[in-house]
Amino acid sequence: MSKTSAKDYHLGFDLGGTKMLAVVYNAQFDAIGRNRMKTQGSLGTESVLTRLVENIDKALADAGIESTQLKSIGIGVPGTVNMHSGVVLGAVNLGWQNVAVAQILQDKYNCPVQLLNDVDAGVFGESQFGAGKEANNILGVFPGTGIGGGAVLNGLIVTGSKQTAMEIGHIPVVPNGTRCGCGLKGCLETVASRLAIAGLAAQAAYRGSAPYLLEQVGTDISLMRSGVLAASVANGDTEIEAIIKRACKYLGKAIGAIATILSPDVVIIGGGLAEAMPELFTKHTSKAARKNVVPVLRDTFEIKIAELGDDASVLGAAVWGARSSKGN
């Protein structure tokens, strides 16, 4: 690919608590260079910012372009951001408060920099190039350690007055249920996150109700990863399948309530678990969602599994940054 000296390139950045990914895109958003590094957030804010710049520079080198050719930068951050000022208000996994990331990078690279929440970036990426590319109104739900959520309505990310909208994981779905880390009881993520599912799976293995899982990883919850749980179901551990079906029921309950309010065309479920067991998740989440949505909307939306994997957030951030650089 020939590369000119024009400012025709966009950079997306996914800043995670454990790893960071920078990807350089051309004007058509084809990836032409990338670099991944460990975040090492425990070393402090200045160290992470230094590594962030180093990661960007290595991605530019991989793409074979100069920093002066960047037209925009978009960064997805695991926390609360002020999208207008470009300040990370709070990112627990990084130990950040009020870090002016956008200004730092604008001074370094002399191009517009846009921040957004990493889940919002992922949903936006799926809306542009993934499972929601043919829809106008998208709801995204991403079960992981917790449960992240986001929505894109008519091309715009739903942020709310404090830019913290779509905290789907903290919708109460179990009356008087387990107390969540947020302080409420019975939140969705206490029963349907990967962490919650892994905990129940470990108990099942301990009881002897999941022989394949017990043989593979024992009862260590840290080893109950998405691929292992999917293999457990595929190899006949019916108790693990029942645990996941129950989680899907609660996911669907929350999705139905939100769909009643937002009326999406597509609901996208992402994260390693859903991507490892797509048929199980779509079937049982869809069934529960349609049971819990207002009847007039029951057949108006489709539930899909995310298509972009780890690239959803970095691509979404890049596209959002490019759009913002045009003043849209």
- Residue 82 and residue 73 in contact, taking contact as beta carbons nearer than 8 Å: no
Residues 276-299: what's their mean pLDDT? 98
User: Percentage of residues in the chain with pLDDT exceeding 90?
Assistant: 91
Q: What is the pLDDT of residue 4?
A: 55
pLDDT at 325: 81
What pLDDT score does 324 carry?
A: 86
Stretch 192-213: mean pLDDT, rounded?
97
Q: Tell me, what's the pLDDT at 328? A: 46
Output 22 or 78, whichever has higher pLDDT. Answer: 22
If asked whether residues 199 and 248 sit together in one domain, one would say: yes
- Residue 2, pLDDT score: 44
Over residues 173-179, the mean pLDDT reads: 96
The confidence band for 72, taking pLDDT boundaries of 50, 70 and 90, is very high
Same domain, 203 and 92: no
- Asked whether residue 327 carries a pLDDT value surpassing 70, the answer given is no
How much is the mean pLDDT over the chain?
Answer: 95
Higher-scoring residue by pLDDT: 17, 114: 114
Q: Is residue 2 part of a domain?
A: no
Mean pLDDT of 129-150: 95
| Integer Cα distance of 186 and 86 in angstroms | 34
Could you tell me if residue 258 is inside a domain?
yes
Do 95 and 225 lie in a common domain? no
* Same domain, yes or no: 106 and 236: no
Which tens digit of pLDDT belongs to each residue from 154-172? 999 999 988 889 999 999 9
Q: Please say if the pLDDT value at position 37 is more than 50.
A: yes
What's the whole-model pTM score? Answer: 0.93
Q: What is the pLDDT of residue 1?
A: 42
Q: What's the pLDDT at 301?
A: 98
Q: Say yes or no: 150 and 298 in one domain.
A: yes
Question: Do 141 and 82 belong together in one domain?
Answer: no
| DSSP label of 15 | E
- Kindly state the average pLDDT of the residues 181-185: 93
User: Greatest CA span in the chain, whole angstroms?
Assistant: 64
> Is 183 domain-assigned?
yes
Q: Are residues 109 and 176 in the same domain?
A: no
Residue 176 has pLDDT above 70, yes or no: yes
156 and 116 in a common domain: no
Q: Is the pLDDT of residue 315 over 80?
A: yes
Q: In what order do the strands lie in the sheet with 113-117?
A: 31-38, 19-25, 9-15, 70-77, 113-117
Crossing angle of helices 278-292 and 238-262, rounded to 10°:
50
Return the minimum-mean-pLDDT range out of 5-14, 25-34, 52-61, 293-302: 5-14
Task: Render the burial of 200-239: b for 16+ CB within 10 Å, e for the rest.
Answer: bbbebbeeebbebbbebbebeeeebebebbbbbbeeebeb
Number of domains in the chain: 2
67 and 205 inside one domain:
no
Residues 119, 167 within the same domain:
no
Quick one: pLDDT band at residue 17, thresholds 50, 70, 90?
A: confident
Asked whether the beta carbons of 81 and 20 are under 8 A apart, the reply is: no
**pLDDT tens digit sequence for 234-250:** 999 999 999 999 999 99
31: CATH = 3.30.420.40
pLDDT reported for residue 164: 85
Residue 223 in tokens: 């080893």
| pLDDT (0 to 100) of residue 326 | 78
* Domain span at 255: 134-305
